[in-house]
Structure 1
Amino acid sequence: MIMRRPAVAGQFYPGNENDLRELIKKLAPEHTPSKIPALGVVAPHAGYIYSGRVAAEVYASIEEAPTFVILGPNHYMYGSAVALSTQEWMTPLGNVQVDEDFIDCLPIGIIDKDELAHRSEHSIEVQIPFLQYFFKDFKIVPIALGLQDYDTIKELAGELVKAIEKYDERVVIIASSDFTHYEDVDVAHRKDRALIKTIEQLDVPAFYDELYRINASTCGYGPIGAMMMACRERGAKYGKLLRYATSGDVTGDRQVVGYAGIAVY
């Protein structure tokens, strides 16, 4: 069977099932309040020792869904500009199927079926073990974005909304992104707070304006924008910051990468 095999198992997270389960268990919050009926989330995609606690907070806090559309930036720029994987995805916790029924609902448009964009990309892969740990029965729709400009994400969001409207099951859109990259911790906090504020308001134009104003190094801004736009169209009113951290919380360094976990509902 042709499937998408792990590219960063043993690097970003443990490569065997027992160690991976144990690590996520340690990263997971001990207690979470009532589950949030999220339409979308923002979750980080760095190595689990750095950003895993933020990601675990996100997935422990939201209601389960049969389908998760995972939008991630294409760091390596291989393949199509908006690339959908239709292969089964393997992780140390088992295999996850793509949702072919949802894919059949997507209109012909900006999204291309293309595996090359996903072969080495980690931004979508690292989300899946968290989904496997916290949820039992789900399928995924993995889409990697090489283009993240406003026009592209507007078109993508429109196509996702059309598919969701035709689809009978609950769908959650995951925007995979880290925030500030390798800047002083005080600068990272200031820049990331400015962006998070626009996400909490679901203000996509303001989010893009702020990106350029502060010269942000947020890698998955396109996935965040597309998720916000689609969720607003589906009736979401606001976003809620669940957890924020930086790599410096682990390393003690002042040059940090920022991570935010946000639920949109």
Structure 2
Amino acid sequence: MCSSRVREAAVDGSFYPGEPELLRVTVDRLLAGAPSPPKDASVPRAVIVPHAGYVYSGSTAAMAYARVARGRDSIRRVVVIGPTHRVPVRGVALSGVDGFRTPLGVLPVAEAWAQERLAGVSAVCVFAETHRWEHSVEVQLPFLQRALGDVEIVPLLAGDATGDEVADVLDELWGGPETLVVISSDLSHYLPYEEARRVDAGTIAQISALDGPLDHTQACGATPVNGLLVAARRHGLRPALLGACSSGDTAGDRSRVVGYAAFAFDEVPDARREG
């Protein structure tokens, strides 16, 4: 992409490999190691995936992206919403750029389309600075590049916002089967292993029942997750837990762990919708 408005990779070489071939091999290995989706599994309309370093949460994220990969011929646009860890923002922030770069190339951003669709949504702003060093969206992009190929993205960061405000943003960008929603969130942080398992089990039960809102002790991405829970009720989606673990199961000690889970949200035919 020939544009000066490209957001450069910020966490390559730390959260995931910075060398293109190693990154490709790493993501492909994670996808190949994920359980095969059931033959009758549909392409999800939305997923929740973790955003830690790949050595910690990549195997959990891959469970969702293996399901997403079934939509390679149908998905053309991906709305990716993560939380802000570094630069706070009121509402939901667009990136103001034309592309996001990873070591695998540049994913085009449907920025003009998104700004037009969201022009009447008061909680939306354009704030490139909150995107500049944020990892919660970036770590999802190599998975999208390997699972779906050259799709357009709409990267969003949710800061001080309600679940209804995030859901209103999703409503404007919802589209049909050509649009996937990716919600980026880890679960509990820095609890002892067994306590984290207990807390995360409660959070997983809430998500499975579309029972929000979550708070930020349950999930660092509680804000975008809460938005998806509202949107899922509005649009008749049903969540399915694909897998869960913690850093104590993958690459960390068990005295202070971070929890991870992957969910797929599928349309339910003739589901009763809110509103």
Say whether the fold is shared (TM-score over 0.5): yes
Within the candidate set 172, 181, 188, 2:189 is matched to 181
The answer to whether 1:116 aligns with 2:129 is: yes
Alignment: residue pair count: 252
Map 1:73-152; keep pairs closer than 5 Å: 73-87=83-97, 88-99=99-110, 100-108=112-120, 109-148=122-161, 152=162
SS in 2 for 1:228: helix
8 Å contact from structure 1 (residues 40, 228) kept in 2: no
8 Å contact from structure 1 (residues 160, 230) kept in 2: yes
Distance in 2 (alpha carbons) for counterparts of 1:172 and 1:219:
21
Residues 58-101 of structure 1, C-alpha deviations (whole Å, 9 max, x = no match): 11112422111111110113455421113110000110011233
Show the counterpart of 1:69: 79
- Aligned structure 1 segments of 4 or more residues deviating by more than 3 angstroms: 78-81
The answer to whether 1:222 aligns with 2:228 is: no
SS in 2 for 1:89: strand
Residues 23-76 of structure 1, C-alpha deviations (whole Å, 9 max, x = no match): 112222445123432121110000000000011111111242211111111011
Show the counterpart of 1:239: 239
The answer to whether 1:59 aligns with 2:65 is: yes
Q: Shift in Å at residue 175 of structure 1?
A: 1.0
TM-score of the two chains, using structure 2 as the length reference:
0.85
Residues 113-159 of structure 1, C-alpha deviations (whole Å, 9 max, x = no match): 110110110000000000001112311111112214xxx22022123
* % identity of equivalent residues: 37
Backbone CA RMSD of aligned residues: 1.9
What stretches of structure 1 of length at least 5 have no aligned partner? none
8 Å contact from structure 1 (residues 174, 227) kept in 2: no
Q: Shift in Å at residue 12 of structure 1?
A: 0.4
Distance in 2 (alpha carbons) for counterparts of 1:56 and 1:252:
19
Q: Which amino acid aligns with 1:75?
A: H
Q: Shift in Å at residue 173 of structure 1?
A: 1.4
SS in 1 for 2:156: strand
Distance in 1 (alpha carbons) for counterparts of 2:217 and 2:176:
38
Show the counterpart of 1:253: 253
What stretches of structure 2 of length at least 5 have no aligned partner? 267-275
TM-score of the two chains, using structure 1 as the length reference:
0.88
CA pair 52-81 structure 1, distance change in 2 beyond 3 A: same
Q: Which amino acid aligns with 2:49?
A: A
The answer to whether 1:21 aligns with 2:31 is: no
